[in-house]
Amino acid sequence: MIPTARKLVADAKRVGIILSANGGRLAFDAPAGAMTPDLRARLVACKAELLAVLAGEYVRAAAALIARVVDESARDDLAYRFDERAAIVEFESGKSRGEAERQAYIELTRAVEGGYL
């Protein structure tokens, strides 16, 4: 399964780690022993997506997540689904484009976390 920034942020919070973006760097505040080598490796693997999520840039976050998908046709399908869902949410709910992109990103991560791939 491809780790998503949304899941990693939740995993980090659960063990008391606070993630933040400091310019183009990922920063964290963690209790002693909370940052395991496995968690650190997962954070590094999805750094671009994490930085985008922390900055509230959900198109960039979706692009970073989709870029980690190996199968090209699945990447194309996910990108199409993200764009389509953002447009539908914006149109049907009257939400701002930014809020629609945030919702589409959440749905994209659910699909990836749920084993769509």
Question: Tokens in use for 32?
Answer: 């002693």
pLDDT given at position 87? 95
- The yes-or-no verdict on residue 100 having pLDDT over 90 is yes
What is the pLDDT, as a whole number, of residue 116? 67
Give the confidence band of 114 by pLDDT, cuts at 50, 70, 90.
Answer: confident
Angle at 99 between CA 98 and CA 104, to 5 degrees: 95
Number of domains in the chain: 1
Residue range of the domain that includes 23: 5-113
Provide the pLDDT confidence category of residue 3 given band limits of 50, 70 and 90.
Answer: confident
Residue 59 pLDDT greater than 80, yes or no? yes
Cβ partners under 8 Å of residue 29, min gap 6: 17, 18, 20
